[in-house]
């Protein structure tokens, strides 16, 4: 398996009632869970249903890949509440383990990120090469600094271009989370089935917060790597041929 195609490899959820659930992820193909019984996808996963304005998929793509990836997760966590504590252990492609004890809606943010970034969503897939080596369960600041560092490398330390590149990508990504949440409004569910919807709200807030921190984090990363900002190229006015 190519490690560049992996991020989360396995997620184990241990609930306070003593039950546990192991979720294996197929990150080399769709980013969806390996064990999936073929069924007719739910209506809310169809592409035209609350389609994101920034989506470039066409009518030939019948379903939203991010919605399909979340469909199974919602089924597994439908009877759980978003505020119950869960101990989650992530195993990455190097077989390293990271364990956190968080409310389920915060742990569920990992499922939302995987669904959007690794399912084939044309907007989310732009981030996939930048996050495959990111630490599981990263904080907002860790995620932001990681994206900023990768972008600075791509733009050879040019500050203005790096800031513009990060901001231009975060806007459409936030839009994706907004419309996935709207999709979920079409699912009949009881009061307890709020884990994934609240996880989407959590990830949306993270993305919105990152947009506000971009400039600060660019300067912070540059200071830490002791790299002076690359000045923007000076553009001289065209020479008057008559002179």
Can you spell out the DSSP letters for 155-207?
TTTBHHHHHHHHHHHHHHHHHHHHHHHHHHTTS---TT--HHHHHHHHHHHHH
Alpha-carbon Rg for the chain, nearest whole angstrom, is 20
- 143: confidence class by pLDDT, cuts 50, 70, 90: confident
Task: Give the pLDDT band of residue 86 (cuts 50, 70, 90).
Answer: very high
b/e burial code for range 97-131 (CB count within 10 A of at least 16 → b): eeeeeebbbbbbbbbbbbbbbbbbbebbbebbebb
pLDDT given for residue 191 in this prediction = 44
Structure tokens given for 168: 């231009």
From CA 197, how far away is CA 28, in angstroms rounded? 26
The three-state DSSP-derived secondary structure of 32-79 is: CECCCCCCCCCHHHECCCCCCCCCCCCCCCCECHHHHHHHHHHHHHCC
Residue 79 has pLDDT above 70, yes or no: yes
User: Of the candidates 172, 171, 201, which has an alpha carbon nearest to the alpha carbon of residue 184?
Assistant: 201
Residue 2, pLDDT > 70, answer no
Q: Considering Cα of 177, then 183, then 187, then 190, what sign does the dihedral take?
A: positive
What is the C-alpha to C-alpha distance for residues 122 and 57, in angstroms, rounded to an integer? 7
Proportion of the chain above pLDDT 70, given as a percent: 82
pLDDT score at 32? 47
Tracing tokens 């919105």 back to the chain, one arrives at 208
- Residues 182-228 have pLDDT tens digits of 998 877 665 446 888 888 998 999 999 988 888 888 888 888 876 65
Q: Where are the domains of the chain?
A: 3-224
pLDDT bucket at 17, cuts 50 / 70 / 90 = very high
Decide: 10 and 25 in contact? Cβ < 8 Å: yes
Across the chain, what does the average pLDDT equal? 81
> Over the stretch 197-208, which tens digit does the pLDDT of each residue have?
888 998 999 999
Over range 49-70, report the average pLDDT: 88
- Summarize pLDDT for 96-138 with one digit per residue, the tens: 899 999 999 999 888 888 888 888 899 988 888 888 778 888 8
Question: How far apart (Å, rounded) are the C-alpha atoms in residues 33 and 238?
Answer: 58
Q: What is the pLDDT of residue 6?
A: 52
Q: What is the pLDDT of residue 157?
A: 81
pLDDT band at 35 (very low <50, low <70, confident <90, very high): very low
- pLDDT of the residue at 138: 85
Least confident of 32-36, 47-51, 105-109, 170-174: 32-36
């Amino acid at each position: 398996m190519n490690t560049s195609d992996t991020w989360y490899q396995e997620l184990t959820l241990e609930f306070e009632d003593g039950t546990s659930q192991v979720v294996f992820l197929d990150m080399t193909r769709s980013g969806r869970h390996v064990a999936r019984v073929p069924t007719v996808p739910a209506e809310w996963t169809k592409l035209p249903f609350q389609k994101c304005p920034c989506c470039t998929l066409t009518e030939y793509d019948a379903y939203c890949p991010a919605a399909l990836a979340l469909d199974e997760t919602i089924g597994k966590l439908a009877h759980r509440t978003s505020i119950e504590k869960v101990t989650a252990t992530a195993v990455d492609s190097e077989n390293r383990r990271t364990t956190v004890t968080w409310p389920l809606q915060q742990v569920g943010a990992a499922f939302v990120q995987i669904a959007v970034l690794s399912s084939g969503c044309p907007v989310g897939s732009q981030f996939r090469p930048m996050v495959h080596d990111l630490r599981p369960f990263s904080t907002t600041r860790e995620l932001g600094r990681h994206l900023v560092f990768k972008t600075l490398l791509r733009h050879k330390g040019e500050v203005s271009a790096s800031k513009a590149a990060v901001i231009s990508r975060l806007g459409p990504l936030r839009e994706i989370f907004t419309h996935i949440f709207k999709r979920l409004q079409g699912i009949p569910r009881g009061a307890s089935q709020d884990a994934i919807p609240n996880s989407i709200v959590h990830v949306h807030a993270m993305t919105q917060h990152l947009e506000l921190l971009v400039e600060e984090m660019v300067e912070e990363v540059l200071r830490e790597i002791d790299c002076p900002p690359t000045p923007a190229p000076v553009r001289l006015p065209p020479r008057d041929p008559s002179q």
